[in-house]
């Protein structure tokens, strides 16, 4: 087998809908192949951080997001090639249903990603209270787009051997594809759910146990050898890297003696980071220092701070108790340290967050008071236009991202020119506005991907360089 990123076997694991069980099966297959000694490269289709975190844990290496809304198709293809070239096999977990996208053409769907990468599809079928009908659904998926190569299926949530046999025989007879396994219903204790999906692997106290549970159930119920044998790479996916791909490559133009240090706020409260974002900063010459607001009491000597999202609400008491860190963050912000924060990071920059009847103080950098709701307050892809001068983006820029939040704005004190973004798609902070900033501190609900928002990493580096020079 050639390991050049173009001939590495790979598979996209897809479902007929969200919640069909493809994440647990993807985890189990990834962990099982890793156990066999394979170097497994894992990917998550779409912007999701949580599933990617679990896949990273199962593979023992970073999981990369592939998203054709956030990034160009050339960039997505190059990312897949680059991050799979030194591996033995690739596992790509799809999202939602196989053909679900943002429009009737199915653009941004898992199916379109499969065609882009030339990868076969393994269908995960939730067989709850259905038998022969599952064959009709699979046949529909096969006929719907003949360019999609569905190589097999795994049955999920079967009620027993009799149920499994009925579904298996019908699929193999009418769809002419193999069934590689059948899984019973999993105990909810193995993978507790919160919000729209799984809890993060960092938050789950039994994450290793959960991965082992997925591994064991796949080991016991899936024909991994048979699945591996059908994963013959599609040679049509081997393309010369285009000019568009070369344009998005981040060069090490800032590497050398003028190196900057960027503090990344990361612990169990803040862990939503695309590996590509951290790598983009490193490629531009940044030394990355990880900082924990849960464990540390002050901000170290850094030239900028990047604060990702997460679930600060689940750690609100601990964050509130660490007053020394909160005060330190506010002080460096007032001194002009460049700070870029997304979603959960934005909340931590606010005055407080209310959880039921309890109010927990945050860092107090922004005059925003947050609450928490039981239903999503912003969910899906975003598109913003930069309409006001700000520390990080040029006016007139169009940026694509995504938002997913349960937090709400209880109170905010701002002027129009303190909101950099006008939302062309999505909700933002308030009244279709996002990107709140004061001095060099910037907070937004919109998550950006560095390979899609090409100005993000260079602008953060440039602000860090300017701040470093100002200190000398």
Question: What is d(CA 424, CA 433) in angstroms, rounded to the nearest whole number?
Answer: 9
Checking 158-164 for CB contacts under 8 A at 24+ apart, the result is: 158/127, 158/182, 158/183, 158/184, 159/184, 160/184, 163/127, 163/131, 164/127
Entry pTM: 0.90
Q: In the predicted model, is pLDDT for residue 246 greater than 70?
A: no
Same domain, 254 and 164: no
Q: How confident is the model at residue 471 (pLDDT cuts 50, 70, 90)?
A: confident
Same domain, 206 and 321: no
> Could you tell me if residue 4 is inside a domain?
no
Same domain, 262 and 372: yes
> Could you tell me if residue 5 is inside a domain?
no
Pairing of β 378-386 and β 419-425: antiparallel
Asked whether the beta carbons of 314 and 205 are under 8 A apart, the reply is: no
65 bridge partner residues: 44
Range of the domain at 165: 10-243
Q: How confident is the model at residue 207 (pLDDT cuts 50, 70, 90)?
A: confident
Same domain, 238 and 271: no
Asked whether the beta carbons of 80 and 71 are under 8 A apart, the reply is: no
Note the pLDDT of residue 2: 44
CB contact set of 356 (below 8 Å; sequence gap of 6+): none
Last residue of a domain, one of 186, 220, 243: 243
Note the pLDDT of residue 258: 52
> Could you tell me if residue 3 is inside a domain?
no
Q: In the predicted model, is pLDDT for residue 299 greater than 80?
A: yes
Note the pLDDT of residue 251: 47
Q: Give 77-114 pLDDT, tens digit per residue.
A: 999 999 998 899 999 999 999 999 999 999 999 999 99
Same domain, 315 and 385: yes
Q: In the predicted model, is pLDDT for residue 196 greater than 90?
A: no
- Choose the weakest-confidence range: 184-193, 296-305, 357-366: 184-193
Same domain, 257 and 222: no
> Could you tell me if residue 414 is inside a domain?
yes
Q: In the predicted model, is pLDDT for residue 4 greater than 80?
A: no
The CATH number of residue 237's host domain is: 3.40.50.300
Q: Give 175-186 pLDDT, tens digit per residue.
A: 999 999 999 987
Note the pLDDT of residue 321: 97
Same domain, 293 and 229: no
Q: How confident is the model at residue 237 (pLDDT cuts 50, 70, 90)?
A: very low
User: Residue 127 catalytic?
Assistant: no
Same domain, 211 and 133: yes
Q: What does the mean pLDDT of the chain come to?
A: 90
Q: Give 356-366 pLDDT, tens digit per residue.
A: 999 999 999 99
Q: Give 387-439 pLDDT, tens digit per residue.
A: 999 999 999 999 999 999 999 999 999 999 999 999 999 999 999 999 999 99
Q: In the predicted model, is pLDDT for residue 201 greater than 70?
A: no
Same domain, 183 and 325: no
> Could you tell me if residue 1 is inside a domain?
no
Question: What is d(CA 178, CA 182) in angstroms, rounded to the nearest whole number?
Answer: 12
Q: How confident is the model at residue 205 (pLDDT cuts 50, 70, 90)?
A: low
Note the pLDDT of residue 245: 40
One DSSP character per residue, 12-42 reads EEEESSTTSSHHHHHHHHHHHHHHTT--EEE
Question: What is d(CA 271, CA 277) in angstroms, rounded to the nearest whole number?
Answer: 13
> Could you tell me if residue 149 is inside a domain?
yes
DSSP H/E element including 52: helix 50-59
Same domain, 315 and 398: yes
> Could you tell me if residue 280 is inside a domain?
yes
Q: Give 437-454 pLDDT, tens digit per residue.
A: 999 999 999 999 999 999
Which is it for the CA torsion 79, 41, 150, 198, positive or negative?
A: negative
Written as six digits, the tokens of 219 are: 């080991």
Q: How confident is the model at residue 140 (pLDDT cuts 50, 70, 90)?
A: very high
Question: Catalytic residue among 90, 141, 175, 343, which?
Answer: 343
Phi and psi at 146, nearest 5°, equal -60, -15
Q: How confident is the model at residue 472 (pLDDT cuts 50, 70, 90)?
A: confident
Phi and psi at 323, nearest 5°, equal -65, -35
Last residue of a domain, one of 243, 262, 294: 243
> Could you tell me if residue 90 is inside a domain?
yes
Per the structure, how many domains does the chain have? 2
Pairing of β 10-15 and β 419-425: unpaired
Q: In the predicted model, is pLDDT for residue 148 greater than 90?
A: yes
The CATH number of residue 292's host domain is: 3.40.50.880
Q: How confident is the model at residue 58 (pLDDT cuts 50, 70, 90)?
A: very high
Same domain, 223 and 261: no
Asked whether the beta carbons of 154 and 128 are under 8 A apart, the reply is: no
Last residue of a domain, one of 193, 221, 243: 243
Mean pLDDT of 346-375: 96
Same domain, 205 and 265: no
Note the pLDDT of residue 119: 96
Question: What is d(CA 52, CA 254) in angstroms, rounded to the nearest whole number?
Answer: 29
């Amino acid at each position: 087998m050639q390991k050049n990123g173009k001939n590495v076997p790979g598979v996209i694991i897809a479902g007929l809908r969200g919640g069909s069980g493809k994440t647990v099966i993807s985890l189990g297959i990834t962990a099982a192949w890793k156990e066999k000694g394979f170097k497994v490269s894992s990917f998550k289709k779409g912007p999701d951080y949580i599933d990617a975190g679990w896949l990273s844990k199962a593979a023992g290496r970073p999981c990369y997001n592939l998203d054709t809304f956030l990034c160009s198709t050339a960039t997505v293809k190059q990312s897949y090639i680059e991050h799979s070239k030194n591996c033995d096999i690739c596992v790509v977990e799809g999202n939602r249903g196989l053909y679900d996208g943002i429009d009737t053409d199915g653009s941004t769907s898992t199916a379109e990603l499969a065609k882009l990468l030339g990868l076969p599809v393994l269908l995960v079928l939730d067989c709850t209270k259905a038998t022969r009908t599952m064959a009709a659904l699979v046949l529909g998926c096969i006929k719907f787009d003949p360019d999609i190569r569905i190589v097999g299926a795994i049955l999920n949530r079967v009620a027993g051997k009799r149920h499994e046999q009925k579904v298996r025989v019908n699929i193999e007879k009418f769809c002419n594809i193999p069934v590689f396994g059948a899984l019973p219903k999993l105990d909810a204790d193995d993978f507790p759910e919160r919000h729209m999906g799984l809890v993060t692997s960092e938050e789950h106290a039994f994450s290793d146990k959960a991965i082992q549970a997925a591994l064991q159930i796949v080991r016991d119920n899936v024909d991994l050898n048979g699945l591996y044998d059908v994963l013959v790479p599609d040679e049509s996916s081997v393309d010369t890297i285009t000019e568009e791909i070369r344009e998005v490559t981040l060069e090490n133009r800032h590497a050398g003696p003028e190196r900057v240090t960027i503090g990344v706020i990361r612990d169990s409260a803040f862990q939503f980071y695309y590996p590509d974002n951290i790598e983009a900063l490193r490629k531009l010459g940044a030394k990355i220092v990880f900082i924990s607001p849960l464990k540390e009491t002050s901000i170290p000597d850094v030239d900028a701070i990047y604060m990702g999202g997460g679930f600060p609400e689940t750690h609100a008491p601990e964050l509130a108790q660490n007053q020394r860190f909160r005060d330190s963050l506010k002080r460096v912000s007032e001194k002009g340290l460049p700070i870029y924060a997304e979603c959960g990071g934005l909340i931590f920059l606010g005055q407080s967050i209310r959880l039921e009847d309890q109010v927990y103080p945050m860092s107090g950098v922004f005059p925003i008071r947050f609450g928490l709701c039981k239903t999503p307050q912003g969910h899906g892809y975003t598109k913003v236009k930069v309409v006001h001068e700000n520390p990080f983006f040029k006016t007139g820029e169009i940026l694509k991202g995504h938002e997913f939040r349960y937090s709400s704005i209880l109170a905010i004190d701002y002027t129009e020119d303190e909101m950099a973004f006008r939302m062309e798609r999505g909700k933002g902070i308030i009244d279709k506005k996002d990107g709140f900033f004061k001095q060099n501190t910037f907070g937004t609900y919109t998550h950006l991907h560095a390979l899609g928002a090409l100005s993000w990493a260079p602008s953060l580096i440039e602000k860090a360089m300017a701040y470093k020079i100002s200190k000398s």
